[in-house]
Structure 1
Amino acid sequence: MSASPHFIYHESPDYPGWMTWELNDPTRFNSLFGPFLLKVEGQMARVRMQPAHVHTNLSGRIHGGALLGFIDIALFAASRGFGLIEAGTAVTLDLSTQFIGAGSAESPLEAQVELLKETGRLLFLRGLIVQADSDERIAAFAGTIRKPSPKPSPIPSAIP
Structure 2
Amino acid sequence: MEALFTSEPDPGYPGWNRWELHDSGRFLDTLGSVHVQPDVDGKARVRMVPGRQHSNMLNNVHGGAMLGFIDIALFAGAETCGAKAAGNAVTLDCNVQFLAGAVLDEPLDAVVEVLRETGRLIFVRGLVEQASGTIAAFSATLRKAGKR
Q: TM-score, normalised by structure 2?
A: 0.90
State the shift of 1:82 in Å: 2.2
Equivalent residues in 2 for 1:1-160 (5 A)?
A: 4=3, 6-41=4-39, 42-86=41-85, 89-131=88-130, 134-149=131-146, 151=147
On the 8 A contact 1:51/1:109 being kept in 2, the answer is yes
Q: Give the direction of change, closer, same or farther, for the CA distance of 1:73–1:52 in structure 2 (3 Å limit).
A: same
1:34-68 deviation digits (Å, cap 9, x = unpaired): 32110012421000001110100000000001100
1:72-106 deviation digits (Å, cap 9, x = unpaired): 00000012212323366410000000000000112
State the shift of 1:121 in Å: 0.9
| CA–CA distance in structure 1, aligned partners of residues 87 and 140 of structure 2 | 18
State the shift of 1:136 in Å: 1.3
Could you say which structure has the higher helix fraction?
2
CA-atom RMSD in angstroms = 1.9
| CA–CA distance in structure 1, aligned partners of residues 51 and 126 of structure 2 | 22
SS in 2 for 1:102: coil
Q: Which runs of 4+ in 1 moved over 3 A?
A: 85-89
State the shift of 1:12 in Å: 1.4
Larger CA deviation: 136-145 vs 83-92: 83-92
State the shift of 1:18 in Å: 1.3
Matched-pair identity in %: 47
On the 8 A contact 2:86/2:144 being kept in 1, the answer is no
Larger radius of gyration: 1
SS in 1 for 2:37: strand
| CA–CA distance in structure 2, aligned partners of residues 136 and 60 of structure 1 | 18
Q: Which runs of 5+ in 1 are unaligned?
A: 153-160
Q: Which runs of 5+ in 2 are unaligned?
A: none
Q: Give the direction of change, closer, same or farther, for the CA distance of 1:7–1:109 in structure 2 (3 Å limit).
A: same
Q: TM-score, normalised by structure 1?
A: 0.84
Larger CA deviation: 10-19 vs 49-58: 10-19
